[in-house]
Amino acid sequence: MTETPAAPKRSAIDRFLNIVESGGNALPHPATLFAILALVVIVLSWITSQLGLSVQHPTTGETITPVNLLSVAGLHRILTGLVTNFTSFAPLGTVLVSLIGIGVAEHSGLIGAALRQLVLAAPRFLLTPVMVFAGVMSNMASEIGYVLLVPLAGLVFLAANRHPILGMAAAFAGVSGGYSANLLLGTIDPLLAGLSQEAAQIIDPAYTVSPAANWYFMIVSTFLVTGLGWWVTERVVARRFPDAPKEDADGGIEPMTREERRGLLFALVASAVLTALVLWGTVPADGFLRNPEDGDLLNSPFLQGIVALIFAYGVVAGVAYGIGAGTIRSDQDVIKGMGQSMSTLGVYLVLVFFAAQFVAFFNWTQLGLIFAVNGAGVLAQLQLPGIVLFAAFILLTACANLFMGSASAKWALMAPVFIPMFMLLGYSPELTQIGYRIGDSVTNIVSPMMSYFALIIAFLQRYEPKAGIGTVVAVMLPYSITFLIGWTILFSIWMAIGAPIGPGSPLQYIPAG
């Protein structure tokens, strides 16, 4: 008689994450939960307004008080804003436009063929670090990572006979958890630098902060996040999502046909032509895709229109592949592909509707501003030494990120408090900005306030229909904790060494004269 093999022993971490997932998924459907939270915000706005809660805005000195939505004026605002809250929700247009273009590439067979070729050509053990690294690099243009890379990572892992959620988790960790790591500068760098400069000029009116102020630290952080993400994926998350029980990892992947190879060649040529056009508009100093006023690339139509480029690449490459492979024979096939991609978004649109109301209501009440300012004030009064103070600052930012998703909005509030305080203690604004960026990044992946959180839930539900907020939090929490610890250690070592964190960006602030 054959004995039944004993079930593998689960570690304490596995048991804890299972409790987190079960508890989170015991909550109502995410759409229902967002609707409930929107109602809670309305009631909370009334309670806090009755209590007379208020704070002083650190920049303007204006008194910030809760806005009561449980009033006639609040009711009017809810009624008139219900539609625009939904239609103006930032990720909605990005997702719809991107998926129309991607739908052509998917319907023509381009994505499936390209992924099979990738899996057949790439060593299986490198898929995870490649996905994390690609996620980190994609956050230079933010939306492309959430909209394109995360679902593609699931398909890549599925083609390699690994659990698709494992691939999506790795990519999401890089895109969102590694938001402040990159080998290149992105649009967020000049935005944060401008806010830091304004705050620094409270103490030193002549002080300037470069958009490249954190570049050296970001480069090192790219490899740190990639390594940590790789380790968490394989050592922690993979235990909860084991591979398919197949003896041959590539056994389920069919070889490329002659038509598919021709289609890939056509798609490659078409993409190369489009890329050459993009380079023509971005490489020259007076390129037509640069900022027409000063030739800047960071604040240019190129980066601002990255979603339109995703659409263009999807349509051009998809049509080219379809012509070469014989899967597209008329314009009707193209339109059909676009329509099919839209038909999969029904649940997501419902999710977005209620999530948009919750986020809008929370912003209207000003409760996020009040929580952030109060938290900053508490930390400012602790008067902790050096590394401990910055570690507390990173932790505070990470917690504040659970309530306010916008990196620039939080920094606009926190910079005028912490940059002057740290400057008076001898620390440069650039160093303070790094601490903020670490805290702002590590909890993105577990914060329902993050704009693309609902989209990630929808992606996971393709493979786990019962997945909800608890699933996402349980899957991503190990990344969040590991990134927080690892990044804080790197920050502490950097402080101890005293190396510059960017071009012309020292750690210490020395007053002029």
CA–CA gap between residue 103 and residue 340 (Å, rounded):
7
Query: Using an 8 Å Cβ cutoff, are 131 and 154 in contact?
Result: no
Query: According to the model, what pLDDT value does residue 280 have?
Result: 95
- In the structure, what pLDDT confidence band is assigned to residue 4 with cuts at 50, 70 and 90? very low
pTM (2 d.p.): 0.70
The whole-angstrom separation of Cα 495 and Cα 387 is 8
Share of the chain above pLDDT 70, in %: 86
Quick check: 444 and 450 in contact, CB under 8 A? yes
Give the pLDDT band (50/70/90) at residue 5. Answer: very low
pLDDT, tens digit, 9 for 90 and up, residues 446-466: 887 777 888 888 888 888 888
Residue 399: C-alpha distances to residues 410, 450, 483 (Å): 11, 13, 14
Question: Tokens at residue 141, please?
Answer: 């243009």
Q: Are residues 358 and 449 in contact, defined by beta-carbon separation less than 8 angstroms?
A: no
Phi, psi for residue 287 in degrees, rounded to 5: -60, 145
Task: Look up residue 185 and give its two tokens.
Answer: 């500068």
Is the confidence at residue 9, as pLDDT, over 80? Answer: no
Mean predicted confidence (pLDDT) in 35-63: 85
Taking residue 75's Cβ as centre, other Cβ atoms within 10 Å add up to: 12
As a whole number, the mean pLDDT across the chain is 83
More confident residue, 178 or 247: 178
Q: What is the mean pLDDT of residues 383-400?
A: 87
The DSSP output letter for 125 is: G
131-157 confidence digits (pLDDT tens): 899 888 877 655 667 877 888 888 888
Q: CB of 66 within 8 A of CB of 370? A: yes
Cα dihedral sign, 222-228-231-234: negative
Over residues 178-193, the mean pLDDT reads: 81
| Cβ neighbours for 38, distance < 8 A, ≥ 6 positions apart | 354, 357, 358, 361
HSE-CB for 438 with a 13 A CA cutoff: 31
Give the model's pLDDT for residue 37.
84
**Phi-psi category of residue 161: left, alpha or beta, with phi > 0 → left and psi -120 to 50 → alpha:** left
The residue among 411, 457, 403 whose CA lies nearest residue 91 is 457
Top-confidence residue, 33 or 126:
126
Contacts of 248 by beta carbon, 8 Å cutoff, 6+ apart: none
> How far apart are alpha carbons 106 and 54 in whole angstroms?
52
Give tens-digit pLDDT for 280-330.
998 998 899 998 888 877 678 887 787 788 889 989 999 999 999 999 998
Inter-residue contact 445 to 173 (CB < 8 Å): yes
Tell me the pLDDT band of 212, cut-offs 50, 70 and 90: confident
Residue 221, Cα to own-chain centre: how many angstroms?
16
d(CA 77, CA 355): 17
User: Which letter does DSSP use for residue 450 in this model?
Assistant: S
The whole-angstrom separation of Cα 359 and Cα 450 is 10
Q: Residue 56: is its pLDDT beyond 70?
A: yes
